[in-house]
Amino acid sequence: MLKQLESGCRVIKVAMGKVRNETMEHRFYRFQLLARRNQKGTPWPEKVASWIYSIAADYGLSLARPLAGVAAAFLLFAVAFQRLGAAACAKRGGCPVPKLADNATALVDPAAWTEALTFSASRLLIFGPFDLVSKTYIQSIKSSGGGWLELAVRGLATLESLIGVVLLFAFGLALRRRFQIG
C-alpha cells in the first residue's frame, strides 16, 4: 500500500511541478519521502538519511532548522572542547585562572572559552582560515600528554565537521528548493 502511495505522490508532485505550484509540489515530495521511508523494503541507511533530512530541514522546507542546528552544534561542541581543555590543563598541573573581586576562583576562564569557541568554529567552517587555530588547539592538548584527551578532541572535531557539512548541505538544499534553483 505504501509503495502505491509513494508512486501516487510522485505523479502528483511531477504534475504540480509542471503547473508551477511549488507549495503543492513540496507537500507531495514530502509525502513521497515519508511513504518511502515507512516501507518495509527500504534499506535502513536510506531510512536514517530520510529521518535526518526530516529533522534537520523538514525535507527541504525549512531554512531555519539547518542554521539553528549549526548554531547548536557550534555551542555544544564548544562546551565539550572547553571541558576537554580544562582537563588538559589539570593534567599539566593547572592553568592560570582569573580571580573575581572577592578573590574566589572564577568558574569561567574567558581565554579558554575563546579558544574553545574558535576551535569549534574551525571545525564547522572547515573551508575557512581556521587551519592554524585547529593545529594550535590540538598542539596544546598534545602538550598535556595527549592520550585519551587528544583522541577525544580529534573524534569530537571530526564528528562536528561531519555534522556541520550535513547541516550546511541541508541548508543549501532548502535554498535550492525554496528558490527553485536548477
C-beta separation of 61 from 174 below 8 A: yes
C-alpha cell recorded at residue 16:
504540480
**Domain of 152, in residue numbers:** 65-168
The values of phi and psi at residue 105, to 5°, are: -70, 135
- Same-domain pairing of 132 and 157: yes
Angle at 152 between CA 73 and CA 57, to 5 degrees: 20
The predicted-structure confidence for 49-102, as pLDDT tens digits, reads as follows: 888 888 888 878 888 999 999 999 999 999 888 888 877 776 666 665 544 444
| Within a domain: 175 | no
Low-confidence ranges of the chain (pLDDT < 50): 98-106
Instruction: Give pLDDT, residue 102.
Output: 42
3-class DSSP assignment, residue 105? strand
- Same-domain pairing of 102 and 144: yes
- Same-domain pairing of 70 and 130: yes
- Among 42, 61, 80, where does a domain finish? 61
| Within a domain: 22 | yes
Burial of 116 (0-12, 13-18, 19+ CB in 10 A): buried
Instruction: Give pLDDT, residue 13.
Output: 83
Instruction: Give pLDDT, residue 77.
Output: 94
Instruction: Give pLDDT, residue 100.
Output: 45
- Same-domain pairing of 160 and 115: yes
Selection from 171, 181, 176 nearest residue 69 by Cα: 171
- Same-domain pairing of 89 and 141: yes
| Within a domain: 34 | yes
- Same-domain pairing of 77 and 119: yes
Question: How many structural domains are present in the chain?
Answer: 2
Instruction: Give pLDDT, residue 51.
Output: 85
Selection from 111, 108, 107, 131 nearest residue 121 by Cα: 131
